[in-house]
Amino acid sequence: MCSIEVTPVIATERLVMRGPVRADAMAIAKLAGDPGVAGQTVCVPHPYSRDDAEAAVERAYRLDWEREAEFAIEHRNFGVVGMLGFKVRELGRPELGYWIGRPFWNRGYATEAVRGALKWVKRDWRKRLVMAGHFADNPAAGQVLCKAGFLYTGDVRLKPSRARAAETPTRMMVWLA
């Protein structure tokens, strides 16, 4: 008997979100290797190499998709444009993180991806609460989250940024289904 692990697939008007595969590593490394991208995330170091991207894909293969998720954001015409994921954080609550490569900024892809992912969270994952945050010096990320239905909690936390090698003020938000 053959067993095939299938990750969820989320389709929106312009995007498909799916589990990353090894063939995505080069595009992920190129986009996440931009210090302007890495510096707006908690987990992406800078510099970011193809080896880092391959390790990230391997980690995604081992995820327990009942608890966490990691999606490659693929544009139907341009290929991989970013990543989006949910990690278990405080009190077992999922926390959303995402990034979009600089060549694809200001086109609405982040908002479209986050909205699509939240529909999946509610419908398929059956979660009713998701946390998120954005670095205080990145208001564009806050706009994306607001457009997707997140609300500010009033809490500002210092979160580490691997690329910045520093703790960075992070404005926390919550989404309630």
Arithmetic mean of pLDDT, 38-50 = 96
Give the pLDDT confidence of 140-158 residue by residue, as tens digits.
999 999 999 999 999 999 9
Arithmetic mean of pLDDT, 42-65 = 95
From the list 15, 31, 19, the residue with the least C-alpha distance to 59 is 19
Arithmetic mean of pLDDT, 129-135 = 98
Q: How far apart are CA 85 and CA 39, in angstroms?
A: 17
Q: DSSP assignment, residue 140?
A: H
Give the pLDDT confidence of 75-122 residue by residue, as tens digits.
999 999 999 999 998 888 999 999 999 999 999 999 999 999 999 999
At 176 the three-state DSSP class reads strand
Give pLDDT, residue 64: 93
Arithmetic mean of pLDDT, 13-23 = 97
At 149 the three-state DSSP class reads coil
Q: Which residues contact 62 (CB under 8 A, 6 or more apart)?
A: none
Give pLDDT, residue 36: 97
CATH superfamily, domain at 9-176 = Gcn5-related N-acetyltransferase (GNAT) (3.40.630.30)
Give pLDDT, residue 6: 73
CA 157 to chain centre: 19
pTM of the predicted model, to two decimals? 0.94
